[in-house]
């Protein structure tokens, strides 16, 4: 990569010298006032870019072959870190949505227990427990008519 960079810089310096010679010989126009230096740099960049693109193609391909494996490893590492972060975030969101203390039954478990107490499977029919206000909700959710 250093070799490619030095070659590119060499082409730019060569173009800058040619542009400088053309400007001071009067072939190329001068910049206005104090902008002459900037004008020569910009002109040298415009001229050197296509030359570098064509002349340094093989060197650019060699440099990219050396960089590609490192880049692939870096991308894989970033992707695995993102996946780990996503799973941590999902766990945090799930924990925030269900803030049940350890050992205490959750709301779903309490409903299942109440529904099991209402249904009498030994007698073959469903009977409602008359012990609490939730018995009406359990009857309605089980499809049992109150008698």
So what's the pLDDT on residue 108?
55
- pLDDT above 60 for 30: yes
Neighbours of 146 (CB within 10 A): 9
Mean predicted confidence (pLDDT) in 99-105:
61
Dihedral over Cα of 131, 136, 141, 142: its sign: positive
Confirm if 43 and 28 have CB atoms less than 8 A apart: yes
pLDDT band at 129; cut points 50, 70, 90? very low
Residue 11: count other Cβ atoms within 10 Å of its Cβ: 18
* Inter-helix orientation angle 36-55/2-25, to 10°: 130
Which residue has better confidence, 129 or 13?
A: 13
The whole-number pLDDT of residue 128 equals 45
CA–CA dist 109, 36 (Å, integer): 81
**pLDDT of 86:** 77
- CA angle (17 as vertex; 14, 8 as ends), nearest 5: 25
Residue 106's pLDDT is what? 57
Confidence band for 144, pLDDT divided at 50, 70 and 90: low
Judged by average pLDDT, the poorest of 11-20, 32-41, 107-116, 125-134 is 125-134
pLDDT tens-digit readout, 32-69: 777 788 989 999 999 999 999 999 999 989 988 888 88
Query: Is it the case that residue 133 has pLDDT exceeding 80?
Result: no
Cβ atoms of 105 and 123 closer than 8 Å: no
């Amino acid at each position: 990569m250093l070799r490619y960079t030095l070659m590119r810089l060499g082409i730019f310096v060569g173009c800058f010298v040619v542009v400088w010679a053309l400007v001071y010989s009067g072939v190329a126009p001068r910049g206005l006032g104090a902008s002459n230096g900037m004008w020569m740099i910009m002109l040298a960049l415009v001229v050197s870019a296509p030359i570098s693109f064509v002349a340094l193609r093989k060197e650019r391909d060699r440099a990219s072959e050396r960089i590609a494996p490192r880049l692939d490893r870096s991308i894989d590492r970033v992707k695995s870190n993102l996946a780990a972060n996503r799973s941590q975030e999902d766990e945090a969101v799930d924990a925030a949505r269900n803030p049940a203390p350890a050992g205490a039954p959750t709301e779903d478990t309490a409903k299942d227990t109440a529904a099991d107490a209402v249904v009498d499977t030994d007698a073959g029919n469903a009977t409602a427990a008359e012990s609490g206000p939730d018995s009406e909700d359990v009857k309605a959710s089980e499809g049992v008519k109150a008698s």
